[in-house]
């Protein structure tokens, strides 16, 4: 298993945001996490990438514990994150955004005396083509549309070339056509990367969920299964429709 999570819990001011008994991810697996608002999906990714500190539990990535490590250390071990709200560098051009993301040594002196190589240019261009960013390469990232910013952030994560990509709501604010393109891209990426995707758009989930879907509710894992299983599960339907029933109460 690439990623193993056990008994992970975190609470904010006494409210249990996450209380996850177990979660594991195979190498090169694409996993979709769904769940109603406040289920702890983003919090889960925040903990993996080091943004939020967990109260207790363990997370091992490639056999090494990553809990308590800094964001930079976690990024260096090969975990890349795309946030729900696009987080790019608005003042820099799209090209510079991509250049900064590209995998290379990132200490001060390397940056100070950095010279671009044709191989790197090729790599950046390749990713830009894939995410339709070629005609906005020299525009400031702040001037892009919301959908383009989403793609730019995905491009940033792709260029980091992480082993594990954490993708938070990639299709939010996109047109149907853009959403489908994003889905196809994620499927293609999943051939060479492990990916965890959080998403609300069920059509989009259906498109990308070839493997397992995990359902989180109120910080706990409700169930895990294929998209068809999840879609037809009474508990999932209930919690999405906001109806409380006995099963949920005893969860």
Write each residue from 21 to 60 as x if it is in contact with other proteins (CB under 8 A), else as -, in one continuous string.
----------------------------x-x---------
CB 17 within 8 A of CB 40: yes
75 contributes a contact to other proteins by CB under 8 A: yes
**Cβ contacts of 236 within 8 Å, gap of 6 or more:** 215, 222, 223, 230
127 contributes a contact to other proteins by CB under 8 A: no
- Provide the residue count of the chain: 251
Stretch that binds other proteins, among 60-68, 99-107, 189-197, 202-210 (CB under 8 A): 99-107
Residue from 56, 63, 113, 191 binding other proteins (CB under 8 A): 113
Integer Cα distance of 238 and 220 in angstroms = 15
Stretch that binds other proteins, among 54-62, 68-76, 183-191, 207-215 (CB under 8 A): 68-76
Site residue total, other proteins (CB under 8 A): 28
Q: Among candidates 44, 32, 18, 31, which has minimal Cα distance to 200? A: 32
Structure tokens that stand for 80 in this block: 């890349």
| Positions in 151-210 near other proteins (CB under 8 A) | 156, 160
80 contributes a contact to other proteins by CB under 8 A: yes
Integer Cα distance of 211 and 208 in angstroms = 8
The least distance separating other proteins from the CB of residue 233, rounded to whole angstroms, comes to 34
CA-CA distances (angstroms) from residue 120 to 64, 116, 124?
30, 7, 6
Binding site for other proteins (CB under 8 A): 49, 51, 70-72, 75-76, 80-81, 87-92, 96, 99-101, 106-108, 111-114, 156, 160
């Amino acid at each position: 298993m690439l990623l193993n999570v056990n008994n992970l819990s975190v609470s904010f001011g006494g409210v249990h945001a996450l209380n996850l008994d177990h979660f594991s991810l195979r190498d090169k697996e694409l996993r979709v996490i769904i769940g109603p608002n406040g289920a702890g999906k983003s919090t889960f990714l925040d903990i993996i990438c080091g943004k939020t500190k967990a109260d207790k539990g363990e997370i091992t990535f490639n056999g090494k514990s990553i809990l308590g490590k800094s964001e930079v250390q976690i990024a260096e071990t090969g975990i890349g994150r795309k946030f729900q709200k696009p987080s790019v560098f608005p003042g820099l051009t799209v090209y510079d955004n991509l250049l900064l993301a590209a995998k290379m040594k990132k200490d001060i002196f390397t940056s100070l005396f950095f010279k671009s190589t044709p191989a790197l240019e090729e790599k950046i261009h390749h990713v830009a083509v894939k995410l339709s960013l070629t005609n906005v390469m020299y525009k400031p990232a702040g001037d892009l549309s919301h959908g383009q910013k989403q793609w730019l952030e995905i491009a940033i994560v792709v260029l980091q070339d992480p082993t594990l990509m954490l993708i938070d709501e990639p299709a939010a604010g996109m047109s149907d056509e853009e959403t489908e393109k994003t889905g196809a891209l994620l499927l293609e990426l999943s051939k060479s990367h492990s990916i965890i995707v959080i998403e609300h758009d069920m059509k989009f989930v259906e498109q990308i969920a070839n493997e397992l879907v995990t359902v989180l509710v109120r910080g706990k894992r409700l169930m895990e299964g294929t998209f068809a299983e999840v879609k037809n599960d009474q508990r999932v339907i209930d919690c999405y429709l906001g109806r409380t029933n006995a099963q949920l109460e005893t969860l």
